[in-house]
Amino acid sequence: MSDDSYSVYQAKAHFSELLRKVQANKRVFITSRGKPIAAIVPLARSNEGLEARLERLEEEGTVSRDAAPLDHLVPIVKRKGALARFLAERD
Protein backbone atom coordinates (compact mmCIF):
# COMPACT_ATOMS: atom_id res chain seq x y z
CA MET A 1 0.00 0.00 0.00
CA SER A 2 1.58 3.29 -1.03
CA ASP A 3 1.12 6.62 0.74
CA ASP A 4 0.36 10.11 -0.58
CA SER A 5 0.39 13.42 1.28
CA TYR A 6 -1.75 16.53 0.72
CA SER A 7 -1.98 19.85 2.52
CA VAL A 8 -5.40 20.78 3.94
CA TYR A 9 -5.89 23.20 1.04
CA GLN A 10 -4.95 20.55 -1.55
CA ALA A 11 -7.14 17.94 0.14
CA LYS A 12 -10.17 20.23 -0.03
CA ALA A 13 -9.50 21.07 -3.67
CA HIS A 14 -8.88 17.45 -4.72
CA PHE A 15 -11.14 15.48 -2.39
CA SER A 16 -12.57 13.25 -5.14
CA GLU A 17 -9.04 12.36 -6.23
CA LEU A 18 -8.15 11.45 -2.65
CA LEU A 19 -11.15 9.14 -2.41
CA ARG A 20 -10.19 7.43 -5.69
CA LYS A 21 -6.72 6.79 -4.28
CA VAL A 22 -8.20 5.35 -1.08
CA GLN A 23 -10.47 3.11 -3.17
CA ALA A 24 -7.29 1.92 -4.92
CA ASN A 25 -6.03 0.75 -1.50
CA LYS A 26 -3.72 3.72 -0.86
CA ARG A 27 -3.41 5.70 2.36
CA VAL A 28 -3.66 9.49 2.09
CA PHE A 29 -2.18 11.78 4.72
CA ILE A 30 -3.41 15.33 5.32
CA THR A 31 -0.85 17.83 6.52
CA SER A 32 -1.05 21.24 8.12
CA ARG A 33 2.07 23.38 7.91
CA GLY A 34 4.01 20.32 6.81
CA LYS A 35 2.98 18.13 9.75
CA PRO A 36 0.62 15.17 9.36
CA ILE A 37 -2.70 15.73 11.12
CA ALA A 38 -4.97 13.06 9.62
CA ALA A 39 -5.01 9.92 7.53
CA ILE A 40 -7.64 8.60 5.16
CA VAL A 41 -7.32 4.83 4.94
CA PRO A 42 -9.28 2.15 3.11
CA LEU A 43 -11.80 0.30 5.21
CA ALA A 44 -10.75 -3.21 6.00
CA ARG A 45 -13.24 -5.65 4.59
CA SER A 46 -13.63 -8.66 6.79
CA ASN A 47 -15.88 -11.61 7.26
CA GLU A 48 -15.97 -11.24 11.04
CA GLY A 49 -19.39 -11.11 12.59
CA LEU A 50 -20.88 -8.18 14.47
CA GLU A 51 -19.98 -9.52 17.92
CA ALA A 52 -16.38 -10.18 16.91
CA ARG A 53 -16.09 -6.74 15.31
CA LEU A 54 -17.54 -5.02 18.39
CA GLU A 55 -15.18 -6.96 20.62
CA ARG A 56 -12.18 -5.95 18.47
CA LEU A 57 -13.24 -2.29 18.43
CA GLU A 58 -13.71 -2.39 22.20
CA GLU A 59 -10.20 -3.81 22.65
CA GLU A 60 -8.81 -1.05 20.40
CA GLY A 61 -10.61 1.55 22.51
CA THR A 62 -12.67 2.77 19.55
CA VAL A 63 -16.00 1.94 21.19
CA SER A 64 -17.20 1.11 24.65
CA ARG A 65 -20.29 -0.79 25.62
CA ASP A 66 -22.68 0.76 28.08
CA ALA A 67 -23.38 -1.63 30.93
CA ALA A 68 -26.73 0.01 31.76
CA PRO A 69 -29.78 -1.43 30.01
CA LEU A 70 -31.75 0.92 27.77
CA ASP A 71 -35.16 -0.04 29.16
CA HIS A 72 -35.13 2.98 31.49
CA LEU A 73 -35.44 5.39 28.53
CA VAL A 74 -38.82 7.03 28.11
CA PRO A 75 -40.14 8.90 25.09
CA ILE A 76 -40.11 12.67 25.42
CA VAL A 77 -43.18 13.11 23.20
CA LYS A 78 -46.49 12.22 24.80
CA ARG A 79 -48.63 12.39 21.66
CA LYS A 80 -48.02 10.72 18.33
CA GLY A 81 -47.60 12.89 15.27
CA ALA A 82 -45.51 15.58 16.97
CA LEU A 83 -43.11 15.77 14.02
CA ALA A 84 -45.95 16.21 11.53
CA ARG A 85 -47.48 19.00 13.66
CA PHE A 86 -44.08 20.68 14.03
CA LEU A 87 -43.46 20.60 10.28
CA ALA A 88 -46.97 21.90 9.54
CA GLU A 89 -46.43 24.84 11.91
CA ARG A 90 -43.19 25.77 10.12
CA ASP A 91 -44.97 26.48 6.82
Taken in order of first residue, the domains within the chain and their CATH numbers are 3-65 (3.40.1620.10)
pLDDT score of 1 more than 60: no
Residue, of 87 and 31, whose pLDDT is higher: 31
Task: Report the alpha-carbon distance of residue 3 to residue 63 in Å, rounded.
Answer: 27
Max alpha carbon distance in the chain (Å)? Answer: 56
34-89 pLDDT tens trace: 999 999 988 877 777 888 888 888 888 888 877 777 777 777 766 778 788 888 88
**What pLDDT was estimated at residue 91?**
65
Model-wide pTM > 0.85: no
